[in-house]
Amino acid sequence: MFPEVRLRRLRKGKIRDLVRETTLSADDLVMPIFVNENIDSPVEISSMPGIYNLPLSGVAKEAKEIADLGIPAVILFGVPSYKDAEGSSSCGEDDVVQEAVRRIKAELGDRLVVITDICMCEFTSHGHCGIVDFETKEILNDPTLEVLGKIAVSHAKAGADMVAPSGMMDGMVAAIREALDLSGYENIPIMSYAAKYHSCFYGPFREAAESGYSFGDRSTYQMDPANGDEAIREVTLDVAEGADILMVKPALPYLDIIYRVKSEFGMPTAAYNVSGEYSMIKAAAARGWIDEKKAIYESLISIKRAGADFIITYFAKDAARMLK
C-alpha cells in the first residue's frame, strides 16, 4: 500500500510505453469500401465526412491507397443499378461487388485481403436483409439462406479472400459453408456477423449503401441491445456451423460483448466500429468539442483492449496515418 506502492512510478516517459498492455497498429484495421454502379466519380457521403461512394473505375485506386498505408484488408459493400424484391443483382457474375473484387485483385493480387459483405439489403427494393412475404410483412429465414449461399459462391468465384454474412438469418453460416464447399471453395473463410445488434448507430451506413427499409424495421432478425447472454448463444451456433472468425457489431456500445466472446470462445474476434460511431466523433471534432485524433485512438484502443483481434472501421486510413 501507499507510500511503498506508487503506481505513478510507471507512468513517466518511455517507462509508460514499456508497460503498455494493449497496442494498436495498421495491421489491426480493415477499411470498408462502398462501390456504386450508379456514379462516374466519387461522391462524399454527407453523414460520413471523408467517406465516399466510389464508381467501379475508382475502386482499384482506393484499394491501392489503403494497401500503401499498411492496412491489410478491405470489406466491400455494393450499390447496384437495379434492385428488386429478390435482390437478383446480388449474385450475378458481373454484378457490382463481383466486378469490384476482380478489379482490386487484378491491381493488387495478394497485397490486400478482400472481404465481401454477404447480405441482401443493398440489393432489395424493400431494403430488408432477406426474402419478404409481403402479405405478412415477414422476412423469411429459410428461403433467404439459398440466396446467401449463391452470393457467397459468386464472390469467391470473383476472387474474394473471405466472406462475411451480416443478415442475422438463423443458419446462415452453415448454408454458406455448404455452398462454398460444394463449389470447391472449402478454403474460403467465413467471418460471421455473429452478434449483430438492432442499433441506431447504423444510420449513416444506410445513406452510404442506399439500404434503408421501406417498412418495419430489422428487430426481428437483429439482436435486442438489452441482451448479452443471447449473443453467446448466437456465437455458439455460428461456431458450430463453421464460422472461422466471429464479429460483434457495433463495437463501442458492446465492449462487454466483445470481451465475453473473446474470453469464452478464444477464436479470432473482430469488431465493427460502425458508421454512427464514426460520424459522432467527426461531428464533435468539426465543432471543436473533441480532439479528433485522440478520440480516434482512444476509441480503437478500447476495442482492442476489450478483446478484438482486428477492427473494421471507417477511421482505418486516418488511424494508419496517425500510427505512422
- What's the CA gap between 18 and 41, in Å, rounded? 46
Q: Find the catalytic residue in 249, 262, 282, 304.
A: 249
- What's the CA gap between 237 and 169, in Å, rounded? 12
Q: Find the catalytic residue in 83, 105, 196, 262.
A: 196
Candidates 10, 285, 286; CA nearest to 299 is 285
In Å, the largest CA–CA distance within the chain is 73
- What's the CA gap between 229 and 91, in Å, rounded? 34
The answer to whether the Cα torsion of 77, 305, 246, 228 is positive or negative is negative
Place of cell 448454408: 175
Q: Which residues are within 8 A (CB) of 68 and not within 5 positions of it... i.e. 6 or more apart?
A: none
Cell of 72: 491489410
Cell of 184: 470447391
DSSP state of 290: S
Tally Cβ neighbours within 10 Å of residue 6: 9
Q: Strands (DSSP E) along 144-234, which ranges?
A: 162-165, 191-196
Contact 116, 157 (CB under 8 A): no
Told to judge if 324 belongs to the known catalytic residues of this protein, a careful annotator would answer no
- What's the CA gap between 153 and 179, in Å, rounded? 7
HSE toward the beta carbon, residue 258, CA cutoff 13 A: 25
- What's the CA gap between 291 and 102, in Å, rounded? 39
Told to judge if 196 belongs to the known catalytic residues of this protein, a careful annotator would answer yes
Q: For strands 29-36 and 52-54, give the pairing.
A: parallel
- What's the CA gap between 221 and 241, in Å, rounded? 18
DSSP state of 112: S
Which residues are catalytically annotated?
196, 249
